[in-house]
Chains A and B, each alone.
Chain A
Amino acid sequence: MADALLPAEFSDLERFAKDWCLATEPERYAKRLASTMDEMQAFYDAVFPRAEEAIVYCDKFPLHDLPDDVHRLLLLLYSLILVSFAVEIWRQPRIPDTGTASFELEDAPVP
């Protein structure tokens, strides 16, 4: 696929790349809150089993010089981390009992 977003080895995850390869934590968190549990379960079920291979793949490249497709694979793993709380623990997108409080990651290293 000439216009693939992810490395060819992860073409099975390509269908999630457009929605879930998001550059910042606030974008990823907003995506979690805007998703249904069915969507996140499908994402988790597909990405979780490939996570270890994806880490190994990313680590073939220097962290601060990742090719674009590998950088997107890393972003997909960041999304897996946020989705895991909804799927593994809360069984809902939102953290329970959090009212209207806000708590945003405003500064983080790149990548």
Chain B
Amino acid sequence: MMKQPAPKQYPKPPEGTWTEHYPELGTGPVSYESSISPEFYELEREAIFKRAWLNVGRVEQLRRNGSYFTKELAVAKTSLIIVRGMDGKIRAFHNTCRHRGNRLVWNDDPRVESRGNCRQFACKYHGWKYDLDGKLSYILQEGEFFGIDKADYGLVPVHCDVWQGFIFVNLAKEPEQSLREFLGPMITAIDYPFHNVTERFYYRGDIRSNWKVFLDAFQEFYHPPILHGRQNPVMSNAEYQRMGFYTMHFQIDGPHRVGSTSGGGGGQLPPEALNPIEGVFRSGLFGPWDHADLGTEGFPPGLNPGNKKRWGLDSFQIFPNFAIVFWETGWYLTYHYWPVAHDRLLFEATAYFVPARNARERLAHELGIATIKEYALQDCGTLEATQMGLESRAVTSFPLGDQELMCRHLNKVVNDWVDDYRRKHAEVRP
């Protein structure tokens, strides 16, 4: 048995700090005006969420031809239909009938996302029908319309592409980059057996904070021993409380970033480092202790990009609002941060495991996902408090440490994308 683990520091790049390894980030205090300004939010909607590729789900949500789901995108004031056509191809459309603009696919409440399987979409209002590839196929009383050609009235398509089973959309008329160009070499290096890791738990939260304020708490490991200190005896031990926790490795590639940390080591910890329930179900803060069989040979390419010993997890932050967290024991977690207003977001956390073969494995998953809720709700409460603190504008300039490199990077990328949009927008207006 190991002793109570002690926090470790890890080597830094030759420049002395991670932040100075990326000199474009600077080291000065930052502003969070971009998280409290309704005007800035309006710019972000155009400059970021209507230009970047956005992940809206996975191919396993569309298992059969005719499977579809709808996705509400408040940030773009639209709803999308994501559908696997009768040809097996996945397409995305604005969820709007071409006749008089009614929301096309919904059940009971038009604000609630829906899913199902069908052969065509029929509008609830006047019965116009569309094939799953978007073609308008039927108009009631077609002869009453004036020179109408159904070929001109298909559903409005949205650019849609798939990487490693993740379905992305791009709301631009013409995306500036293909999905793979946008994802770049660091992300596209990932080759993980997602298709074998399909047992899915989906959480959804309604949080009153800016999406970036919230995301920032999920891209630094500086806060866990404090904010989540009581939840886990490892983090509440005296050494962690005195020294804090250090990230092993940071890496930035374009608008995306990753941080890697050590693992939970649950199976090797002495009982006093565990909550009693963890010892029974062999699971906890870092998920199940026992390694899942991912069904592939060797270590998945692209993970542990720093090639660190005692690697435990990678937190890949894919711009703007999507994260994939890979855990050493063979499961993964995604986060989505969907802005609803400048001071509100929809937070989605989805955990994926190799499907349980028995109750023992299923219970280890259950404890893992229950633990997510316990810590995520603490983040939710605290980040509403942060939003309130920022909105007071009593303080307008905030120091970030080297462990908060990823927060600094997001802040810069958001400002860069908005500046770029403003510049291009100014060019086309005389």
CB atoms of B280 and A48 under 8 A apart: yes
Report if A52-B385 is in contact (Cβ < 8 Å); known contacts: A95-B374, A109-B201. Answer: no
CB atoms of A81 and B276 under 8 A apart: no
CB atoms of B207 and A101 under 8 A apart: yes
CB atoms of A101 and B201 under 8 A apart: no
Contacting residue for A99 out of B201, B202, B281, B384, CB 8 A: B384
Distance in Å from the Cβ of A52 to the closest Cβ of chain B? 6
Chain A residues within 8 Å of B381, by CB: 95, 97-99, 101
Report if A103-B277 is in contact (Cβ < 8 Å); known contacts: A85-B374, A90-B230. Answer: no
Task: Say which size band chain B's interface belongs to.
Answer: 35 or more
Stretch of B48-56, B150-158, B362-370 that contacts chain A: B362-370
Report if A103-B367 is in contact (Cβ < 8 Å); known contacts: A59-B360, A81-B281, A111-B362. Answer: no
CB atoms of A98 and B366 under 8 A apart: no
Chain B residues within 8 Å of A89, by CB: 230-231, 275, 374
CB atoms of A63 and B363 under 8 A apart: no
Chain A residues within 8 Å of B347, by CB: 103
CB atoms of A51 and B280 under 8 A apart: yes
Expressed in whole angstroms, the Cα–Cα distance for A78 and B362 within the complex equals 10
Chain B window 354-383, contacts with chain A (Cβ cutoff 8 Å), 1 for yes, 0 for no? 011111101100110110011011101110
CB atoms of A88 and B280 under 8 A apart: no
Expressed in whole angstroms, the Cα–Cα distance for A48 and B281 within the complex equals 11
CB atoms of B275 and A99 under 8 A apart: no
CB atoms of B276 and A59 under 8 A apart: no
Distance in Å from the Cβ of A97 to the closest Cβ of chain B? 5
Expressed in whole angstroms, the Cα–Cα distance for A108 and B373 within the complex equals 14
CB atoms of B202 and A84 under 8 A apart: no
Expressed in whole angstroms, the Cα–Cα distance for A92 and B154 within the complex equals 56
CB atoms of B369 and A59 under 8 A apart: no
Chain A window 71-108, contacts with chain B (Cβ cutoff 8 Å), 1 for yes, 0 for no? 00010011011101100111000011111111111111
CB atoms of A63 and B362 under 8 A apart: yes
Distance in Å from the Cβ of B190 to the closest Cβ of chain A? 24
Expressed in whole angstroms, the Cα–Cα distance for A111 and B357 within the complex equals 12
Distance in Å from the Cβ of A80 to the closest Cβ of chain B? 7
Expressed in whole angstroms, the Cα–Cα distance for A89 and B366 within the complex equals 17
Expressed in whole angstroms, the Cα–Cα distance for A90 and B378 within the complex equals 12
CB atoms of B203 and A106 under 8 A apart: yes
Expressed in whole angstroms, the Cα–Cα distance for A66 and B357 within the complex equals 13
CB atoms of B373 and A103 under 8 A apart: yes
B12 at the A interface (CB under 8 A): no
Q: Which residue of B lies closest to A109 (CB)?
A: B199
Expressed in whole angstroms, the Cα–Cα distance for A63 and B363 within the complex equals 11
CB atoms of A99 and B370 under 8 A apart: no
Expressed in whole angstroms, the Cα–Cα distance for A98 and B381 within the complex equals 4
Q: Which residue of A lies closest to B276 (CB)?
A: A88
Q: Which residue of A lies closest to B201 (CB)?
A: A108
CB atoms of B280 and A52 under 8 A apart: yes
CB atoms of B357 and A103 under 8 A apart: no
Expressed in whole angstroms, the Cα–Cα distance for A51 and B276 within the complex equals 11
Chain B residues within 8 Å of A100, by CB: 208, 384
CB atoms of B206 and A102 under 8 A apart: yes
A13 at the B interface (CB under 8 A): no
B200 at the A interface (CB under 8 A): yes
Q: Which residue of B lies closest to A54 (CB)?
A: B359
Expressed in whole angstroms, the Cα–Cα distance for A108 and B349 within the complex equals 12
A58 at the B interface (CB under 8 A): yes
Distance in Å from the Cβ of A111 to the closest Cβ of chain B? 7
Report if A107-B358 is in contact (Cβ < 8 Å); known contacts: A95-B374, A98-B380. Answer: no
Chain A residues within 8 Å of B201, by CB: 105, 107-109
Distance in Å from the Cβ of B61 to the closest Cβ of chain A? 10
Report if A105-B369 is in contact (Cβ < 8 Å); known contacts: A89-B230, A95-B377, A99-B380. Answer: yes
Q: Which residue of A lies closest to B370 (CB)?
A: A81
A55 at the B interface (CB under 8 A): yes
CB atoms of B373 and A84 under 8 A apart: no
CB atoms of B367 and A59 under 8 A apart: no
Chain A residues within 8 Å of B378, by CB: 95-98
CB atoms of A107 and B376 under 8 A apart: no
Expressed in whole angstroms, the Cα–Cα distance for A85 and B204 within the complex equals 20
Chain A residues within 8 Å of B280, by CB: 48, 51-52, 55
Expressed in whole angstroms, the Cα–Cα distance for A95 and B378 within the complex equals 7
Known contacts A55-B359, A55-B363, A96-B378; 16 additional CB pairs below 8 A are A63-B356, A63-B358, A63-B362, A78-B363, A88-B277, A89-B231, A96-B230, A98-B380, A99-B384, A101-B205, A101-B377, A103-B203, A104-B205, A105-B203, A107-B202, A109-B356
Please name 12 pairs of A and B residues whose Cβ atoms are closer than 8 Å in the assembled complex, sorted by A.
A51-B281, A52-B280, A55-B280, A55-B281, A63-B358, A74-B362, A81-B281, A88-B276, A98-B380, A100-B384, A106-B204, A107-B201
